């Protein structure tokens, strides 16, 4: 009896796997930004603003160095995210650095004379500015017994505060302001005492990651970006469906569509399979950016036969149409 259990489990596994009549395919979709950057610019530029530490004050100088590291990485990371967006194809985005000397307790905007001075060096007319960033690291650790031996636990916490603004020189207006406040934790248990830069990131490497983090959050807010998603399609039921699946594996959507059309031509013989082929045709059109035609194929699929995934996929296509309209209106 004991020997039969794994065999039975294997048979059940084979039975269920053979019942799976669909596959997954990867797709990248372009998501619109939360807010719209001005589109009337010719040359964008990123600038990070620094504050000097107090001379002869080691703690102040160290804090300034940590903040500068975060700011530098934030600028480079934001530029990288912008380059990934189709909005900035073939656009060079320079990075500038600005030393701020104001002592206001508030995160005040740059005055327009300063903006013009920063922009003039690169003939920029749109300035994306990290007006302020502050990283406060805190490290704590302690030893404990886990019941067998002495262990050590440590945690490094970075408290972040960053403020981004966009300055449009064409109409002298500010926009896309964003305050980012968050914490990032790194924790570790080990048999030896925890040391920064060994089991846990060092102060400067954690600061650099903090800068990357605030850039990533801001990029999602102002820049359309690609998102990895998955779709399902039906891959079995006839020789044509199987042949189409092989074409999909090679990203040959036109050839796959030809096979699905053959299945649809036999809809009276097998309306259920025709519904699945029509569903797949909707996917082929989405892959080629034809969202309205994709909806038409989903309508045909619904007429042939009920498919549970049809209503779910219809909402996906409708959301893509909305996203496309938003992207085109920006």
> Cα(144)–Cα(166) distance, rounded to whole angstroms?
49
Residue 240 lies in a domain: yes
Q: 214 and 272: one domain?
A: no
Q: 218 and 248: one domain?
A: no
> Cα(298)–Cα(317) distance, rounded to whole angstroms?
10
> Cα(39)–Cα(158) distance, rounded to whole angstroms?
35
Q: 171 and 274: one domain?
A: no
Q: 310 and 217: one domain?
A: no
> Cα(79)–Cα(95) distance, rounded to whole angstroms?
8
Residue 59 lies in a domain: yes
When divided into structural domains, the chain yields a total of 2
Residue 13 lies in a domain: no
Q: 127 and 59: one domain?
A: yes
> Cα(151)–Cα(142) distance, rounded to whole angstroms?
9
> Cα(152)–Cα(144) distance, rounded to whole angstroms?
6
Q: 206 and 297: one domain?
A: no
* CATH number assigned to the domain comprising residue 256: 1.25.40
* CATH number assigned to the domain comprising residue 123: 3.40.50
> Cα(222)–Cα(177) distance, rounded to whole angstroms?
10
**Domain, as residue range, for 123:** 44-132+162-180+202-224
Length of the chain in terms of residues written = 330
Q: 167 and 259: one domain?
A: no
Q: 120 and 235: one domain?
A: no
Residue 37 lies in a domain: no
> Cα(33)–Cα(40) distance, rounded to whole angstroms?
17
Q: 58 and 126: one domain?
A: yes
Look at phi and psi of residue 201 and say left if phi exceeds 0, alpha if psi is from -120 to 50, else beta.
beta
Q: 252 and 274: one domain?
A: yes
Residue 197 lies in a domain: no
Residue 316 lies in a domain: yes
Q: What is the pTM of this model?
A: 0.78
330 residues of the chain, pLDDT tens digit each: 333 334 434 333 433 444 568 899 999 998 888 888 888 899 999 999 988 888 878 888 999 999 999 999 999 999 999 999 888 888 999 999 999 888 778 899 999 999 999 999 999 999 999 999 999 999 999 999 988 899 999 999 999 999 999 999 999 999 999 999 999 999 999 999 999 999 999 999 999 999 999 999 999 999 888 889 999 999 999 999 999 999 999 999 999 999 999 999 999 999 999 999 999 999 999 999 999 999 999 999 999 999 999 999 999 999 999 999 988 876
Residue 186 lies in a domain: no
> Cα(43)–Cα(20) distance, rounded to whole angstroms?
52
Q: 77 and 219: one domain?
A: yes
Q: 49 and 128: one domain?
A: yes
Residue 24 lies in a domain: no
């Amino acid at each position: 009896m004991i020997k039969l259990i794994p065999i039975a489990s294997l048979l059940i596994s084979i039975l269920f796997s053979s019942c799976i009549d669909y596959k997954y395919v990867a797709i990248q979709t372009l998501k619109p930004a939360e807010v719209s950057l001005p589109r009337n610019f010719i040359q964008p530029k990123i600038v990070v603003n620094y504050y000097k530490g107090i001379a002869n004050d080691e703690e102040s100088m160290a804090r300034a160095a940590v903040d500068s590291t975060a700011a530098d990485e934030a600028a480079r990371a934001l530029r990288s995210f912008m380059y990934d967006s189709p909005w900035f194809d073939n656009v060079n985005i320079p990075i500038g650095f600005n030393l701020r000397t104001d002592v206001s307790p508030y995160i005040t905007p740059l005055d327009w004379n300063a903006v013009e001075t920063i922009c003039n060096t690169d003939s920029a007319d749109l300035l994306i500015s990290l007006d302020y960033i502050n990283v406060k690291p805190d490290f704590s650790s302690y030893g404990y017994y886990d019941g067998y031996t002495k262990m050590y636990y440590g945690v490094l916490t970075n408290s972040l505060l960053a403020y981004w603004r966009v300055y449009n020189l064409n109409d002298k207006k500010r926009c896309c302001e964003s305050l980012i406040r968050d914490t990032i934790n790194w924790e570790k248990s080990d048999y030896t005492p925890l040391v920064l830069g060994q089991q846990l990131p060092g102060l400067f490497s954690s600061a650099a990651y903090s800068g990357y983090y605030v850039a990533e959050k801001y990029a999602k807010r102002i820049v359309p970006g690609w998102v990895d998603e998955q779709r399902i399609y039906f891959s079995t039921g006839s020789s044509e469906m199987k042949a189409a699946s092989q074409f999909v594996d090679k990203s040959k959507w036109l050839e796959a569509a030809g096979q699905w059309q053959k299945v649809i031509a036999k809809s009276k013989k097998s309306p259920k399979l025709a519904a699945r082929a029509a569903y797949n045709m909707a996917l082929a059109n989405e892959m080629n950016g034809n969202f309205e035609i994709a909806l038409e194929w989903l309508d045909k699929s619904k007429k042939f036969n009920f498919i549970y995934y049809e209503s779910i996929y219809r909402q996906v296509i409708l959301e893509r149409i909305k996203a496309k309209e938003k992207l085109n209106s920006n």
